[in-house]
Structure formats: structure tokens, C-alpha cells
Amino acid sequence: MTQAESNRAYAPVQMEVHGPVLLVTINHPPVNALGLPVRQGLAAAADRLEQDPSIAAMLIVGGGGNFVGGADIREFGKPRQPPFVRDICARLEGASKLVVAAIQGAALGGGLELALSAHYRLAVDGARLGLPEVLLGLLPGSGGTQRLPRLIGVSAALDLMLTGRHIGAEEALALGLVDRIGKGGDAAKAGLTYVEELLRAKTAPRPTRSAGAVRGDEQDLNALAVARETQRKRSPLLLSPHLIVDAVEASVRDSFDDAMVFEQRVFQQCVDSPQRAGLIHAFFSERQATKVPEADRGKARPIEQVGVVGGGTMGAGIAVAALNADLRVTLLERDAGSLARGVERIENVYADLVAKGRMTPEGRDAVLHRLTSSTEYAALGDSDLVIEAVFEDMAIKHAVFMELDRVCKPGALLATNTSYLDIDEIAARTSRPQDVIGLHFFAPAHVMRLLEVVVPRLASADAVATAFAFARRLKKVAVRAGVCDGFIGNRILSVYRRAADYMIEDGASPYEIDEALRSFGYPMGPLQVSDLSGGDIGWATRKRQAATRDPKQRYVQIADRIAERGWFGQKTGRGWYLYRDGARVGQPDPEVLAIVDEERKRAGITPRPFKPEEILRRYLAAMINEGANVVHEGIALRPLDVDVVFVHGFGFPRFRGGPMFYADSQGLGSILADIETFAKEDPAFWRPSPLLVELVREGRNFASLNTALA
């Protein structure tokens, strides 16, 4: 290959002439994002279209399987450099020659906006179209808020922009978003045929800005009003959904050019917001978390057959998660009765989906066909992976792993779903500790996306790589954790929950705690969560920890007093809240407040008022400080791993990026100052993490540790 040929091969935007058609291919791995080199290439292609008299039309396609994954989101927050996507779009739309986009793979965000500025669009099977900017705290900022409603109508455009959902070629055709579906999967080939056809028919350019689907009638106004009200209820703290509605309203109210000015203004407002920074941090962190040293070194083993030991809530949920990933599953229980109940739990999940119309009976049967069940360990002999989800008792786990060691084929990955037990100790009971790992699912296991991959000392790199590949197959967000009591999530949880308990005993009502956390963006407060998951779970943990608890450590007994009454939350009709007549939303319970009062008296505490701001500062400082400890000890590889765990497993508001990202945004100095202030009243609990102290001393932040490893 000559140098010229090789330059051409690696150009982010390539141009090839096919008769009268200029074929423009965007080739910028991994997803053809519209970074500066792509924008420059597209601007050059627009020049060529305008200037070359032998060219009658332009066809834009993406190379490497995707059209365009959107703006290059690494560029947000940095100085913007022209040419801008919106200007390129305007030039293409205004071209006097025909511009066609042929979409293969993802056409998302700025990628779809580019396609919207073409005069005609074709999508091949498997294409995914969408404007997911809202998920990144943004709005479509290259004309999407104006062209999409004009093309497909206000209501459909609002739906796509406010959910950020991806749609396939068929739905895009039905909505009028594309004009044709190309068969065969090759966008360039199908696109060239289409352009030739359009040229033969002497089809004129058709600017989307002049499309007529915005009518400004009652239906449009009603769709806007409904969207506004829905977002007010659903996302009161978010900025971009509300601005999206405003921008679409501008499409109804203003001329295209005026509305574009408005779009640009509100887009910039989103770009400048901390929510955008938090959401983009969350996006990259999820991907970064899967980059662990062992996954590079090791080789993932194939997994098709999964064994699940234990058919309780967790085991059944894990089985469903594996079945949903097209895997074959064998459920094992110790006796026929438990096995039947386990299988029933799994069947119920699918029965529910069928009842809700989200699955056909045939689809359910096909899934359940891949499920087998047994009470004999021998049935797990050909499993590639076995996940144990039995009672949290070390002796029982030992027995299970000794059996697995006996029956499983060599190379099978043996995983425990324990939430806190020492996996090194479990591994040591087998003759193959290199194949033992923790796969810590969160309930309900088929719904919650977080999976902690807990890596014991002797686990092989292949075992870790296999666990991460398995997580990807299950579409889980996997985070590597080291072995300690509670791993990343539950260990940190136990500390900030203590901070909450202390505040309750010192004078904050449980309901004030929940309210403060909801106002921060949590969907539920910690006590509501406790009621939902069952107060008996935390009670059992506290009883287990009692033997090893430092007797000098402050211990608040309020939760125990509630649990002792059998008030375990929603399932028993009362817990921290009262659930009258099976209600799912609890009411504050005066009897709980009386228990709190009694306990304060017993502990000799005179209650004092807590402002919401103080509640948040204490709760978050405890979380961040323990997060720093977890990173310091190597339990989490990086601060971003803690962020991913909290966003996906513990309801931490995604738009705040995660606790460690949030700490950086507040300034680590102020978090440390808070901890030092709180330490004056309880130095045993409020011990600044050595890592936090070090970072503050060096004027660094948690992000500096993310980039060091990225």
C-alpha cells in the first residue's frame, strides 16, 4: 500500500466517486463519533458536493458497523472547535444537490441529526436510531429538536427525545423518520441503489426544515402540555428534559431559524450544567469499570450452561437473568419441595410478563425449555458456570462448594453470590481455588443491572475474564471488587446507614432523613428502601456483626426495636412506615416515633433539630469517606468503580455521577473539613480516610485516580 493509499484508508471521512454519486464514508472507530476530524472531513465533503460539477448527489454512510454514535462526548466541557455539526447539517440540508443518508447500526444523537439533515434516509435491518442526549443531560443540539418534530410530529418527537430510546428500521419507517428499508445489511450498497433510483426519477432535494408535521394545533399543544406535566412529576430535579419540551415548543411557535437559535441557547445551558458532567461521567465509568487487569491478561471461557444452586428469591432471579441471556440453566435445590418452589418462582416471572403482554406464551415456553431442575449435584456436571445462592452461612457454603468441586467439570467457574462472607475461605475448601469467584447480584437479580465481580486472592485471570464476559452477556454493569465484609457496596452502605442511625437517635426523624435524600435525587430514602427489601435482612446482619462489634462503638438500637416487633416493612404492613391495607406507599407511623423517643431517652440523648442540609452532609460524608477507604485498600480499583456501584445498585442519583464524582464537585477539602468537624463529637466513627487526607494535602481529586488507571 502506498502512503497515499494508507492515508486514505485511515481518513476519518473517506470520499469515493461512484458515477454521479459522491459516497462519503465516516470511518472513525469505535463508533464514528463526530469529533473534530470527522467534522472537518464532512465539511470537506460538503465543499466537494458544492464545487464538483460531475457530482449530482451525495450518499453518507458509516463504516465499521455503525452510522454515527453521536457527538464525541469526550469533547463536552472543553473549548469547542469549528466546524460545528449544526453548520454542516445546515449546509447539507441547503445543498442544491441530493443528499441521502444510509443507516447501518447506530445513528444516535448528532448522528441522527446528521441523517435528518439529508434529504432522504434509508435504514438497513439492525439499524438503531435515537436521540439519547437526555440520558447524558443534554438535548439534541444540531437541529434535532426542530427537524424531528417537523418530520414525524410533535408527539412522536417528544417521545423519542424524552425517553432517549432507540428504535429499529421498521419503527423508523412507520414514523416517517426514514423513507426506505434496505435489505441485506449493506448500507452503502442499498444506499447507492436508492440514490440512483432517486436520480433517475429526477427527485429534487427535500429539506427537512420545510417538512410539515408540526401543525401547531390542539393535538400538538396537548402533547406539549402532557410532556411538561409528566417531566415535572418524573424528573423534577433534571434540567434537560424540561428544556427539550421548551425547544419542541419553539418548533411549534417560532420560525425554523429562530427556533434553532433557541435550541442553541438551551443546548449550551445543558452543556454547562453539572448534570451533564455527572451523566457523562456515569456513561464512561460503566464502560471503564469493565477494564480490569485480569480481563486483559486472561482468556474468557465459553459459557452456555449455567447451574444455580438455591431456588430462593436470589437464586430464582439469577436463573431468570441467565435464561434471559439465552443460556441453558439447571436449578438445584436440596429437596423436591424447595425445588418445586424455586421453579415456580422462575415460572412466575414469565407468567407475569405474559400477563402484562410483554411476552408471548410461545416465547415463555421457549425460554422455560432451556430450564432444567434437579436435587442431585451430578446434574451440574456439565455446567460451564455454577452460581451458588444458598443461605448466608459459612458451613452451608463450605458443604456446597465441596460438592461442586466433586461434580463439576475441570475449568468450570464456581461462583458464590454471598453478600459478605469471605470468598477466600470458600475457595480454600475446593481443590481449584483458581476457579472460584464471587458474583454478587443485587435483588431482584434479573432486574438490577449491577454485578459485583468479587475476586479472591487465588482466582485466575481466566476466571475473572470469564466472569466479566458472563456479565456482558447478561447485560449487567460489572464492577471488580476485592474480598472484605460487604465488598464495595454493602460495606460502604453499612457505614452511612450508621451515620443515619446516629442522626435519628440525635434528633432527626426517620422521615426527615428520607425526605432529605429524596430531595438530593434518590428515588427513595434509606428507610423506605429498608422497608421495601425487608427489615429482617438488616436485622440478621446486625445480629451476625454483634459478636465482632467493638463494644465501645456507638450502637443505635432503634431498628432492632422495630424489627423485634415483627415490623419488617412492606411485607408485614409496617416497618419504619405504616402500610395500611397493603398500600405500597407508607405513611409516617406515630408508634415508630414513640419507639425513637424511648430509645433516645434510654441512651440519655436530648434530641436536637437537623436541617436537611446537615442530614445530607453527614450521610454523604460518611459514604464518601468509606468510599475512599475502599479505594485505598484496593477493594475498588478506582473511585469510578465506587460510583458505578452506587449509581446502579444503591439508587445514587445518576445525574450526580456517583458519590466520588460528587465529592470532587464539592471539593475534597470541604468534605474533609466536615468529617473533621463531626469527629469532634464522635472521633471513633468519623475517622478521615488516609486517602482523602492525602488527596487534600496534595491538592488532587478522586478523578486523578481514575485517569491514572484508565
Largest CA distance in the chain: 91
Task: Choose which of 104, 117, 142, 146 interacts with ligand 3H9 (CB under 6 A).
Answer: 142
Asked about 515 being catalytic, the answer comes back as: no
The yes or no reply on residue 127 touching ligand 3H9 (CB under 6 A) is: no
The yes or no reply on residue 133 touching ligand 3H9 (CB under 6 A) is: yes
3-state secondary structure of 291: coil
Site for ligand 3H9 in 61-80 (CB under 6 A): 69-74
d(CA 588, CA 81): 54
Task: Choose which of 2, 3, 4, 30 interacts with ligand 3H9 (CB under 6 A).
Answer: 30
Question: In what side-by-side order are the strands of the sheet with 328-332?
Answer: 371-374, 328-332, 305-309, 385-388, 413-416, 436-441, 450-455, 477-482
The yes or no reply on residue 292 touching ligand 3H9 (CB under 6 A) is: no
d(CA 6, CA 108): 29
Cell, residue 221: 399543544
The yes or no reply on residue 41 touching ligand 3H9 (CB under 6 A) is: no
The yes or no reply on residue 132 touching ligand 3H9 (CB under 6 A) is: yes
The yes or no reply on residue 563 touching ligand 3H9 (CB under 6 A) is: no
Binding mask 266-285 for ligand 3H9 (x = CB under 6 A): ------------------x-
- The continuous run of DSSP H or E covering 121 comes out as strand 120-124
Q: DSSP string of 158-213?
A: HHHHHH---B-HHHHHHHTS-SEEETTS-HHHHHHHHHHHHHHTTPPP--GGG---
* Cα-based torsion angle of the residue sequence 581, 585, 588, 594 in order, rounded to the nearest 10 degrees: 60
Rounded to the nearest 5 percent, the helix, strand and coil shares of the chain are 55, 10, 35
The yes or no reply on residue 143 touching ligand 3H9 (CB under 6 A) is: no
Q: Which of 133, 452, 599, 626 is catalytic?
A: 133
The yes or no reply on residue 137 touching ligand 3H9 (CB under 6 A) is: no
**Min dist. Cβ of residue 72 to ligand 3H9 (A):** 4
The yes or no reply on residue 287 touching ligand 3H9 (CB under 6 A) is: yes
CA distance from start to end of the chain:
34
Which of the stretches 30-38, 443-451, 580-588, 682-690 binds ligand 3H9 when contact is defined by CB under 6 A?
30-38
Task: Choose which of 46, 138, 187, 630 interacts with ligand 3H9 (CB under 6 A).
Answer: 138
User: Is 445:317 a contact under the CB 8 Å cutoff?
Assistant: yes
The yes or no reply on residue 586 touching ligand 3H9 (CB under 6 A) is: no
The yes or no reply on residue 102 touching ligand 3H9 (CB under 6 A) is: no
121 - beta bridge partners? 101
3-state secondary structure 540-571: HHHHHHHCCCCCCCCCCCHHHHHHHCCCCEHH
Give whichever of 71 and 172 is closer to ligand 3H9, judged by the CB atom. Answer: 71
d(CA 471, CA 451): 7
Task: Choose which of 62, 100, 104, 113 interacts with ligand 3H9 (CB under 6 A).
Answer: 113
Task: Choose which of 62, 63, 137, 144 interacts with ligand 3H9 (CB under 6 A).
Answer: 144
Give whichever of 156 and 436 is closer to ligand 3H9, judged by the CB atom. Answer: 156
User: In terms of DSSP bridges, do strands 450-455 and 436-441 run parallel, antiparallel, or are they unpaired?
Assistant: antiparallel
Task: Choose which of 85, 259, 295, 484 interacts with ligand 3H9 (CB under 6 A).
Answer: 85
Q: Which of 113, 249, 294, 626 is catalytic?
A: 113
Asked about 133 being catalytic, the answer comes back as: yes
Task: Choose which of 13, 21, 26, 33 interacts with ligand 3H9 (CB under 6 A).
Answer: 33
The yes or no reply on residue 477 touching ligand 3H9 (CB under 6 A) is: no
Q: Cα 30 to chain center, whole Å?
A: 20
**Min dist. Cβ of residue 673 to ligand 3H9 (A):** 35
Q: Cα 272 to chain center, whole Å?
A: 22
Q: Rounded to the nearest 10 degrees, what angle do helices 361-368 and 313-324 cross at?
A: 110
Task: Choose which of 59, 99, 136, 647 interacts with ligand 3H9 (CB under 6 A).
Answer: 136
Task: State the catalytic residues.
Answer: 113, 133
The residues that touch ligand 3H9, with contacts defined as CB under 6 A, are 30-31, 33-34, 69-74, 85, 106, 108-110, 113, 132-133, 136, 138, 140-142, 144, 284, 287
